[in-house]
Structure 1
Amino acid sequence: MNSPSNKEDLRIRLLIVDDEQSIRKLCVTVGEALGFVCLEAESGDSALALLEEQPAHMILTDLVMPHMSGLEFLEKVKKLLPRTEVALMTGHGSIETAVQAMKLGAYDYITKPFSPLEELRLFLRRMAEKVRLVEENEFLRQRMDSETAAHGIVGSSARIQEVLRMVSRLKDTRTPVLIYGESGTGKELVARAIHFRGVFAGRPFVAVDCGSLVPTLIESELFGYEKGAFTGALKSKHGLFQSADGGTIFLDEVGELPLELQAKLLRVLQEKEVRPVGSNQRVKVDVRVIAATNRDLEAAYKIGAFRKDLFFRLNVVALHVPALRERRSDTPMLVHWFLDRFAHDSEMHVSSAAMKALMQYDWPGNVRELENCIERAVALGNGRIIDLGDLPPAIAAGSARPVPPCPRAPRRRARWPSIRIWLEPRRYRNRPRLQLGPPISRISRELRSSASLSR
């Protein structure tokens, strides 16, 4: 049997179970004042019969009743309506039994008589807040499109829906695509969606992080090499382009490639063939190229930091992945997506206060930072609800971490644009490593060189 639905904008239904009519009437009065739809039953048997016809969101039951005890009733309700919250009313002498009931899945217990009556009102209001939280979480989970979630692109905002529309248009083409977006926005997820949703899904998808390749080995990694081409080349090896033949190669952070290799990459894109290192033979490859960058490549080619002809060859279709702060409305859906991944079988939820903080934070690390935050909260949390105390202090405060100040610009800015382009993409990427930025020695050399030009 399913739990009660959300059709009436979640007007909560409260069932009061007690063999004393005066207690039931008192609870109904308080519940209706809180806006609940209140139902009554004088025994566990009559309550179960009523629940078969009218499921409730919340149940407040006496612990000691004739024919069926509150504990027996609790166990039967949890089998019938697992998501319904059950709280117990108990006298002072039966608190130990009430604690036992909580171990069986009860929400909480409240002692009778209610003194003051405000105690009962606050108890029911807190219980209702949890019910609403659980129902809202379930509603968000149901909104996640299964096809979208299959590739991790989660969201219903206009910005992310435009990305998904572009994915749908590009999935069956061989057109080069250049994906723009800050670090952590999910550029590789978009590339994978383009590949795996289309007619080429059964063919290879090879992802290459251009920024992590060893400079002296980039060419051999991409294009392969022949036996004896260099020290240690004991046998011939296919490059990543040959591995992706017939499918897609994803060049992440393509702006990190050195200029001399950019010329060779351009030839591969134009001629559709590669020449392994140490070979005089060219090998035909049929590869769709999807590239990604967190840099402004147009500005880079204007100062000579990126080849203009390669830029236009890659930028046939430009696709922009928005930063998380530009689609804040997707935050709750992403949070529950990550909760499902990290909490496994346990039902964990996020409190309203914590969700508000998550939505207010600017997320300089974007979706990747949110993912790390939720994984941390699940690992360190003590209960089923993630609250403000489970979040890092900066996120709980709802403010982005400060960006470190840039070095002072020299009087003549001939080289500063290239320094800025080199620095900016690394601000977030390197920060988790003890807040370290780029090598100080390299920045100093660039600034000294620039300053010397102005003398």
Structure 2
Amino acid sequence: MSDDLRIRLLIVDDEESIRRLCITVGEALGFICTEAESGEAALAGLEDQPAHIILTDMVMPNMSGIEFLERVKKTFPRSEVAVMTGHGSVETAVQAMKLGAYDYISKPFSPLEELRLFLRRMAEKVRLVEENQFLRERVDTETELHGIVGTSNKIQDVLRMISRLKDTRTPVLITGESGTGKELVARAIHFRGPFANRPFVAVDCGSLVPTLIESELFGYEKGAFTGALKTKAGLFQVASGGTIFLDEIGELPLEMQAKLLRVLQEKEVRPVGSNQRVKVDVRVVAATNRDLEAEYRDGTFRKDLYFRLNVVTVHLPSLRERRSDIPMLAHWFLEKYAPGASIQITSAAMKALLQYEWPGNVRELENSMERAVALGDRRIIDLADLPPAVASQSIGIGDGDAPMRFSPPSTTDLEDIERATIQRVFEQVKGDKAMAGRMLGISRATLYRKLKRYNIGTRSGLSSIAPALQ
């Protein structure tokens, strides 16, 4: 299981022996375990890495377990908190449960199996709550998650990650090939969470002019350079309180990577031409189609920035890795570009879509469906409506929507494919135009227009097409 999907357990106790014992049991259950010796240290750690389960002592120096519980439930309401008490104070434990604690367990743990079962029950509750929320969200996945569509295991893992990350401020690095939908995931993480009404600023790092990157990101003062006629806030300031999405982060030059790292560490920016620093509170979501780990090893990307951004990674699979989602995606895009038209896709066209390698991923599939709607009859999508590179994937495959037994011509020219298809159907129905229209899924008017265009139905037309069908 990916580390990002495992249960995270935080132990808070001023006794190291208790922390080590709990960690040993937690790791045996497959949890990712962290520890803190005080409530203050635990709260600081939770800012960077929220935990699903927190086990805290009741009596600690400075901040008590009760005070820590109240702070956690206010700031991280989805975390399950249980309290440990070694003083037999049932009243205090009951008070903790009234404040939202999951349960309490007495120290020392005797037998140790009691602690193991206690943690397992907490984990089961966390998983049940997350699964119920995930299933509720799936009802409207297509519309609510901004076009992230699919039922394959890999895309469902992505949706689960979005569900977990939306309530946090943790930095996220989204990886995947171009066209896989990295910005869609960034938007879903932002707009599905409690910060949806705050700014979301998308920055294409690859499109920024090198000499102007700093002023675009951090702003500038009036007179800072030629053309700076007035003070302008940078994109980090615009996004303050919300999310900044740094797309293609690997395109940033090394000099800017150092300045970006300082902003992430200090949570402040210095506009160009100013001596004053401006505080910014912004969640950073970055994306790349590069292997940043390999690049930092080669010295082309800063190692410290990589680890600062790479707190949680969401990897988007290529469309080749989730072919089972292609039919759902294709129909989603058809509905998007022809609402209510209920356009259907023939078996031959669908087989071509499933066989194509999709180097441009989901974006290329969307463009193909938009093209099919624009050029087709808005009733049915056949091979002739697909781009030549996609349609050519169906060579040698029969059309399961009609009893046709032929191999399309070897040429990838779209018009030749369309003409050969119509010719074969016309021959099979012995010239019955009404039946040919039904088999092709097009209206009679469209059929007449195409018959005339390709000179089909006359002796000269038959003789000129025959060689292409051999």
What TM-score comes out, normalization by structure 1 length?
0.55
Distance 2:261 2:219 in 1: 16
Distance 2:255 2:167 in 1: 32
Shift of 1:359: 1.0
Q: Residue type matched to 2:194 in 1?
A: V
Structure 1 residues 144 and 335, CA gap change in structure 2 (3 angstroms)? farther
Q: Deviations over 1:58-90 (max 9, x none)?
A: xxxxxxxxxxxxxxxxxxxxxxxxxxxxxxxxx
- SS of the residue corresponding to residue 233 of structure 2 reads coil
Give the alignment of 1:178-327 within 5 angstroms: 178-327=173-322
Q: Residue type matched to 1:297 in 2?
A: L
Shift of 1:383: 4.9
Shift of 1:344: 2.6
Partner of 2:401: none
Give the alignment of 1:325-364 within 5 angstroms: 325-364=320-359
Distance 1:253 1:227 in 2: 30
Partner of 2:408: none
Larger mean Cα displacement after TM superposition, 235-244 or 375-384: 375-384
Shift of 1:353: 1.2
- Check whether the contact 1:144–1:333 (CA below 8 A) recurs between aligned residues: no
Higher RCO structure, 1 or 2 (CA under 8 Å, sep 6+) = 1
Q: Deviations over 1:282-312 (max 9, x none)?
A: 0000000000000000111111110010000
What TM-score comes out, normalization by structure 2 length?
0.54
Give the alignment of 1:163-178 within 5 angstroms: 163-178=158-173
Partner of 2:392: 397
Please state if 1:385 is matched with 2:380.
yes
Match of 1:162 among 157, 162, 165: 157
- SS of the residue corresponding to residue 313 of structure 2 reads strand
Please tell me the root mean square deviation across aligned C-alpha atoms, in Å: 1.6
Partner of 2:74: none
Q: Residue type matched to 2:202 in 1?
A: A
- SS of the residue corresponding to residue 355 of structure 1 reads helix
Q: Percent identity?
A: 79
Structure 1 gaps, min length 5: 1-142, 400-455
Distance 2:292 2:370 in 1: 33
Q: Deviations over 1:252-307 (max 9, x none)?
A: 00000010000000000000000000000000000000000000001111111100
Q: Deviations over 1:128-187 (max 9, x none)?
A: xxxxxxxxxxxxxxx984234331100011000000011111101111100000000000
- Check whether the contact 2:221–2:232 (CA below 8 A) recurs between aligned residues: yes
- Check whether the contact 2:171–2:309 (CA below 8 A) recurs between aligned residues: yes
Larger mean Cα displacement after TM superposition, 318-327 or 377-386: 377-386
Partner of 1:369: 364
Distance 1:291 1:383 in 2: 38
Shift of 1:398: 2.2
- SS of the residue corresponding to residue 208 of structure 1 reads strand
Q: Residue type matched to 1:225 in 2?
A: Y
Structure 2 gaps, min length 5: 1-136, 395-470
Partner of 2:52: none
Distance 1:200 1:293 in 2: 23
Distance 1:321 1:373 in 2: 21
- Check whether the contact 1:144–1:155 (CA below 8 A) recurs between aligned residues: no
Q: Deviations over 1:390-421 (max 9, x none)?
A: 1112211228xxxxxxxxxxxxxxxxxxxxxx
Q: Residue type matched to 2:379 in 1?
A: R
Please state if 1:147 is matched with 2:141.
yes
Structure 1 residues 145 and 325, CA gap change in structure 2 (3 angstroms)? farther
Distance 2:141 2:386 in 1: 30
Distance 2:260 2:204 in 1: 15
- Check whether the contact 2:341–2:378 (CA below 8 A) recurs between aligned residues: no
Q: Residue type matched to 1:235 in 2?
A: K
Structure 1 moving runs of 4+ over 6 Å:
none
- Check whether the contact 2:141–2:148 (CA below 8 A) recurs between aligned residues: no
Distance 2:301 2:150 in 1: 33
- Check whether the contact 2:141–2:149 (CA below 8 A) recurs between aligned residues: no
Partner of 2:105: none
Distance 1:170 1:219 in 2: 29
Q: Residue type matched to 2:205 in 1?
A: C
- Check whether the contact 1:272–1:285 (CA below 8 A) recurs between aligned residues: yes
- Check whether the contact 1:226–1:236 (CA below 8 A) recurs between aligned residues: yes
Q: Residue type matched to 2:266 in 1?
A: E
- SS of the residue corresponding to residue 232 of structure 2 reads coil
